[in-house]
């Protein structure tokens, strides 16, 4: 009889330890891979600037500023872009990889094809141009603003809070301007409008998203014949999306290519609405044929429109927000080369390339964290709810443009997600008549079962408070950091 070999416990333990060490080493390498690639891109951006401008005493500041601009672009990709594709990922209409690819392509396309040719050197008129006329002071002010905005967005990404990069830049410019020329340098009427947008943007976005969700639930999801209702109303909702995004892109996304007034943009939107409705009605009828009469079937009809909405949001964001992010860098480049402070400057194509590729790299390397936050961790989304979020983002920007209000696409999109979640809570309470529903289930042993809570919380409050707090302190935090950095830079330079 052959004896079975006895297991060598010491050898097994050593092998397990070795495997554990190898797994830990692999995890450590992955942890440092993304920062290493990001650092390489920052260095590459500085090298590109040196090749364009050459090495001389006047180009050093531009080369360093380009590296900081690349760092800022990486942070925009890691934070701001999540609002465009996060709901689609949370609704399982897009995989994480698919969302990253679509967002990277359309953000870059928006920045390069429709991005700003001209940008105000004093971002959004925050600082009066007459207050900072010394080119050297102005360069250091923009440099401090760029660094402070990038650092703040990086910190917000680390804590998991989607914030407005435009507001971060505004805060940085304001802080540096105050440090350079005092409180009188700030255009306080413009700052008041921006402060009002902190409240208006998310509230308006949330209300519009909740209204659309209520309408779809009442007219489609809660109907007895859900398929017939879907055939009637889903083409209308798709046409509204197409028309809204046409107006959005005409007013905001393509404004640097062609100047289209809001009335003309609305006419274009109306034409696109009619064409889309005519095309989508037979498609939805064909797609819904043979489907089960259920809410799940209705939600599935919104998946493809939701993917299109995510792509369009990314394009519009790239076209509209990238120029604001690289504005301080463009201002530094112009002032260093021309030796004077200008009210408007052209953005060199290589600066836009740095911004566009930086956003794509930041999204691919660090974007999943905030995408999961927006799409999965605030409230539960499905294709129908996520579609309402995307539609709300486009319509809110149009309304704000009509009213002349400066708004943040980040605040709108996240506010719409909150709006959907809070509407679901309110709808649940109304459905249950605000009564305590106690469903006691007795077991065979006679023990009482669990009670169903009357007030279901469908929005995670901890994330809600974290995000609201981050929004409130974005401008003052960026301003304080920028002001301190400006004083340090000026003291070193002099």
Shortest CA distance to 417 belongs to which of 233, 241, 271, 201?
Answer: 201
**What is the DSSP code (8-state) at residue 225?**
S
DSSP per-residue codes, 167-194 = HHHHHHHHHHHHHHH-GGGB-HHHHHHH
Shortest CA distance to 91 belongs to which of 378, 443, 442?
Answer: 378
Residue that has been written with the tokens 């350079």 in this structure: 180
pLDDT confidence of residue 437: 45
Bridge partners, 118 (sequence order) = 346
For 174, the token pair is 């304001």
Q: Has residue 5 been placed in a domain?
A: no
pLDDT confidence of residue 343: 64
Q: Has residue 19 been placed in a domain?
A: no
Residue-level pLDDT, tens digit, the chain, 494 residues: 555 555 555 655 655 655 555 555 444 555 678 888 889 999 998 888 888 877 766 678 888 889 998 999 898 888 887 788 888 898 888 888 888 888 888 888 887 776 665 555 555 567 776 777 788 888 898 889 999 999 999 998 888 888 888 788 889 989 998 998 888 888 888 788 777 877 888 898 999 999 999 999 889 888 899 999 999 999 999 999 899 888 877 876 666 667 788 888 889 999 999 999 999 999 999 988 888 888 888 888 888 888 888 888 888 777 766 666 677 888 888 888 777 777 667 777 888 888 888 888 888 888 888 888 888 888 888 888 999 998 888 888 777 767 766 677 778 888 999 999 999 888 887 776 544 444 444 444 444 444 445 456 778 888 888 888 888 899 899 999 999 999 999 888 77
pLDDT confidence of residue 353: 83
Q: Has residue 353 been placed in a domain?
A: yes
CB 336 within 8 A of CB 49: no
pLDDT confidence of residue 323: 66
Shortest CA distance to 412 belongs to which of 432, 426, 397, 429?
Answer: 397
183 CB-contact burial (10 Å; exposed 0-12 / middle 13-18 / buried 19+): exposed
Q: Has residue 11 been placed in a domain?
A: no
Q: Has residue 157 been placed in a domain?
A: yes
Q: Has residue 18 been placed in a domain?
A: no
Q: Has residue 4 been placed in a domain?
A: no
The Cα 163–Cα 153 span in angstroms is 7
Count of domains forming the chain: 1
Shortest CA distance to 325 belongs to which of 364, 354, 349?
Answer: 354
CA 30 → CA 23, 33, 37, 159, 418, distances in Å?
11, 5, 11, 20, 33
pLDDT confidence of residue 488: 93
CA 272 → CA 33, 36, 256, 301, 343, distances in Å?
45, 45, 21, 20, 37
What is the sign, positive or negative, of the torsion defined by CA atoms of 360, 366, 368, 373? negative
Structural domain containing residue 331: 33-493
Other CB atoms within a 10 A radius of the CB of residue 124 amount to: 21
Q: Has residue 21 been placed in a domain?
A: no
pTM given for the model? 0.79
Strand, coil or helix: 50:
helix
CB 145 within 8 A of CB 170: no
Distance between first and last Cα of the chain: 92
């Amino acid at each position: 009889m052959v004896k079975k070999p006895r297991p060598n416990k010491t050898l097994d333990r050593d092998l397990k330890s070795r495997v554990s060490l190898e797994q830990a080493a692999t995890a450590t390498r992955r942890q440092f891979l993304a920062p290493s690639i990001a650092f390489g891109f920052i260095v590459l951006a500085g090298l590109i600037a040196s090749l364009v401008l050459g090495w001389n005493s006047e180009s050093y500041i531009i080369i360093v500023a380009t590296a900081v601009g690349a760092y800022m672009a990486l942070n925009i990709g890691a934070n701001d872009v999540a609002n465009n594709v996060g709901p689609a990922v949370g609704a399982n209409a897009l995989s994480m990889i698919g969302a990253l690819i679509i967002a990277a392509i359309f953000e870059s396309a928006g920045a390069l094809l429709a991005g700003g040719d001209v940008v105000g050197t004093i971002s959004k008129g925050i600082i009066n141009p007459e207050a900072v006329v010394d080119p050297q002071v102005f360069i250091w002010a923009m440099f401090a603003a760029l660094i402070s905005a990038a650092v703040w967005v990086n910190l917000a990404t680390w804590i998991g809070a989607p914030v407005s990069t435009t507001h971060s830049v505004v805060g940085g410019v304001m802080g540096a301007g105050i440090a350079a020329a005092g409180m009188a340098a700030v255009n306080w009427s413009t700052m008041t409008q921006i402060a009002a947008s902190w409240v208006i943007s998310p509230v308006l976005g949330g209300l519009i998203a909740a209204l659309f969700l209520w309408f779809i639930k009442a007219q489609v999801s809660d109907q007895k014949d859900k398929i017939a209702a879907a055939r009637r109303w889903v083409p209308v909702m798709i046409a509204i999306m197409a028309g809204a995004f046409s107006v959005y892109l005409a007013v905001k996304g393509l404004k640097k290519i062609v100047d289209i007034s809001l009335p003309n943009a609305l006419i274009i939107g109306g034409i696109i609405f009619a064409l889309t409705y005519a095309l989508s009605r037979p498609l939805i009828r064909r797609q819904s044929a043979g489907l089960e009469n259920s809410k799940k079937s209705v939600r599935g009809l919104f998946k493809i429109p939701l993917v299109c909405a995510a792509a369009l949001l990314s394009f519009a964001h790239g076209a509209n927000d990238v120029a604001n992010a690289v504005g301080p860098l463009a201002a530094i480049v112009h002032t260093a080369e021309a030796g004077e402070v200008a009210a408007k400057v052209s953005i060199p194509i290589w600066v836009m390339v740095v911004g566009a590729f930086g956003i794509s790299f930041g999204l691919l390397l660090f974007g999943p964290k905030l995408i999961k936050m927006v799409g999965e961790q605030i409230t539960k989304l499905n294709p129908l709810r996520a579609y309402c979020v995307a539609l709300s983002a486009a319509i809110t920007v149009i309304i704000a443009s009509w009213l002349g209000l400066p708004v943040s696409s980040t605040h709108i999109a996240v506010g719409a997600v909150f709006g959907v979640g809070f509407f679901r809570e309110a709808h649940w309470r109304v459905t249950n008549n605000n009564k305590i529903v106690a469903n006691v289930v007795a077991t065979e042993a006679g023990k009482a079962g669990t009670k169903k809570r009357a007030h279901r919380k469908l929005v995670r409050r901890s994330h809600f408070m974290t995000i609201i707090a981050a929004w409130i302190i974005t401008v003052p935090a960026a301003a304080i950091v920028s002001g301190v950095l400006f004083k340090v830079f000026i003291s070193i330079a002099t």
